[in-house]
Amino acid sequence: MLQDRIHDWLERRIISRGLPLSICLPDKRLINPHPSPKVTVTLRSPRAWLALAKPTLGKLAKAYVEQELDVSGNLQDILEIGARFCDSDVGAVNKTNRAWKWWRHTRAADRRAIGRHYDISNDFYALWLDRWRVYSCAYFKTPDDSLDLAQEQKLDLICHKLNMQEGERFLDIGCGWGGLILWAAQRYRVRATGITLSQNQYQYVQERIAQLGLQDFCQVMLCDYRDLAESEPYDKIASVGMFEHVGKKNLPFYFGKIYRLLKPGGLVMNHGITLTLPDAREMGSDVGEFIEQYVFPGGELMHVSSIMEEMARQKLDCRDAENLRPHYAKTLWHWVRRLEARQEEARKLAGEKVFRTWQIYMGGSARSFEHGWLSIYQLLAGKPLPDGSLAYPLTREFVYRS
């Protein structure tokens, strides 16, 4: 029987690789009954055999999310042993081209994709995000910083890099739950505007603006960046964890739009995830396919050099680049631990499938940042004045002031 052949193959594979792994079959038999396994996989469906027969991390993640198999053990051990069990390399060059899907990144497609990811439930995200509900990489000044502190430090870092001044007009493209515009309005007294495609986020930010009495300093719009009016340009613009949704084909328009939305002499901070290998199109071992199907439909990652090149083509003058890769690994592990600590509430709010999706996605992403398969860059650029100048401090000292 096919299952018997797969059984024998799995046993040889596990033993030859010295994996502290046991697999429990539907009939309760164990493959490799290890005396003290770090990880136990329990098969729940015949389709789980197919995921194990020619394993990739993406296939195993899909089987877990679809509840075709269960996994017990520490998530870091699960990911490490899973990687050793599979032959495929997450960090390898994957040139998969999804450009044939012409409907990707239309306004309607982007709105559906954002709604599918962010409109699960505000209360679900509140279980594991910080008190500002910042859903992007935090900034740790010390290894022991709490997530709340590290996210506040990140918000302030962005404001410092943008050299925010009282009374300036500030735009946050993809404002999430409003943490950055609320922080900037409260502490820097800028006139902040946030835009989002998520109905849940839009309603939440409106409520927070009213609760904090910031109606004279803040506003939020349910709006696609492509539809923003250009008649009243901004002094400063931030885009944090948003351009990953833009799509490679739209990058010229995206950065061109930012250029037109900026006043001459204005600054933009583009903060986003990048691939480490220049020729890659997505993560290997079917991880990119898993993320496309379950997490970020339409998401596209690029190497930082491609992003900087397109910024330059759109006449944005790049002044500073910083890789925050170690910070995002720490952020993601904070999120995983907080989600797992409140997993019963998460399951009630969003369901088992959503809980498993975010747990395995965030843990796998943390490992990808740790191993250097993914990076995250803050790119600071400006719209030069007609004579080519751009007023900006000569050193970074002002960024790190108290």
pLDDT tens, residue by residue, 352-395: 999 999 999 999 999 999 999 999 999 999 999 999 999 898 89
Given the candidates 3.90.76.10, 3.40.1160.10, 3.40.50.150, 3.30.390.50, the CATH classification of the domain at 107-400 is 3.40.50.150
Determine the pLDDT at residue 128: 98
**How far is Cα 211 from Cα 196, in angstroms, rounded to an integer?**
19
Residue 42 pairs in a beta bridge with 24, 70
Q: In whole angstroms, what is the distance from residue 235 CA to residue 104 CA?
A: 31
Q: What's the CATH fold of domain 2-85?
A: Nonspecific Lipid-transfer Protein; Chain A (3.30.1050)
- Reported as a single tens digit per residue, the pLDDT across 243-255 is 898 988 999 999 9
pLDDT at residue 225, as a whole number: 95
φ, ψ at 353 (rounded to 5°):
-65, -45
Strand partners, 330: none
Boundaries of every domain in the chain: 2-85, 107-400
Crossing angle (nearest 10°) for helices 179-188 and 199-211 = 20
Q: How far is CA 289 from the centre of its chain?
A: 15
The end-to-end CA distance of the chain, in Å, is 68
Nearest-angstrom CA–CA distance, 122 and 190:
26
Note the pTM of the prediction, 2 decimals. Answer: 0.93
pLDDT of 111 reads 66
What is the per-residue pLDDT for 100?
44
Q: Distance between alpha carbon 236 and the CA centroid of its chain, in Å?
A: 23
User: pLDDT below 70 — which residues of the chain?
Assistant: 1-3, 88-105, 107-117, 119, 402
pLDDT of the residue at 104: 58
Give the pair of three-digit tokens for residue 387: 């004579």
Q: In what order do the strands lie in the sheet with 218-222?
A: 218-222, 191-196, 169-173, 234-240, 262-275, 374-382, 317-323
Bridge partner list, 355: none
List CB contacts of 151: < 8 A, sequence separation 6 or more.
Answer: 130, 132, 134, 138, 139, 179
